[in-house]
Amino acid sequence: MAKVYTKTGDKGTTALYTGQRVPKYSTRVETYGIIDEAQAVLGMARAAAQLQEVKDDIYALQKDLWILMADTASLGKDPDITDERVEELEQMIDKYDARLEPLTKFLVPGETVAEAFLNVARTVVRRAERSYWKLHTEEGEDVNEVDIRYLNRLSDVCYILGRAESELK
């Protein structure tokens, strides 16, 4: 097995998935780093979740985020995140929303540990989306807009999963 360290980034650059080297401070690297943070926070939420259905859905989202990071770290290739996956996120939102009471007030995070972690994940995903838009402004055609749509829906999924963890028993 290869060593964990490669020493190839010691001079301030890193390799993208498609092989190009870019500065570690680039918006592209920042964006997939934020997505990595979201994936880690979702792991904390999954570890704390009480509902098996929520755990399973979070696990699927975590796997998606590995694909999204690869999309973000790639130049000149079609995205692996698809419009169909964005639609599946919408269906997930609708599935949980149908089982929850209508909102009548703003919710303050912290009803359960999992709900709190899911709200942290939601804010990290929103930050990733903002970073993706910045990347789109800087690089235009080298950014897959489906990935941005995925992030937008994912923040809503995190919110609804948090509600499910605190309201469905």
Q: Specify the CATH number for the domain of residue 108.
A: 1.20.1200.10
Q: What number is the average pLDDT over the span 38-67?
A: 98
Is 129 inside any structural domain?
Answer: yes
Q: Which sign does the torsion angle of CA 132, 133, 138, 144 carry?
A: positive
The pLDDT of residue 154 is above 70: yes
27: phi > 0 → left, psi -120 to 50 → alpha, else beta; which? alpha
The pLDDT of residue 138 is above 70: yes
Give the chain's domain count. 1
Q: What number is the average pLDDT over the span 137-144?
A: 89
Residue ranges in 73-140 assigned as alpha helix (H): 83-97, 113-139
* Lowest mean pLDDT segment, chosen from 6-15, 30-39, 47-56: 6-15
Is 94 inside any structural domain?
Answer: yes
Confidence of residue 97 (pLDDT cuts 50, 70, 90): very high
How would you classify the pairing of strands 13-15 and 21-23?
antiparallel
**Residue 1 has what pLDDT?**
67
d(CA 110, CA 101): 18
Which structural domain, as residue segments, surrounds residue 121? 20-167
d(CA 140, CA 142): 6
Is 12 inside any structural domain?
Answer: no
Is 134 inside any structural domain?
Answer: yes
Q: What number is the average pLDDT over the span 101-108?
A: 86
**Residue 169 has what pLDDT?**
74
Q: Of 169 and 124, which is predicted with more confidence? A: 124
Q: Of 4 and 68, which is predicted with more confidence? A: 68
Is 1 inside any structural domain?
Answer: no
* Average pLDDT for the chain: 94
Is 141 inside any structural domain?
Answer: yes
**Residue 71 has what pLDDT?**
96
Cα–Cα nearest to 37, from 81, 82, 68: 68
Is 121 inside any structural domain?
Answer: yes
Is 5 inside any structural domain?
Answer: no
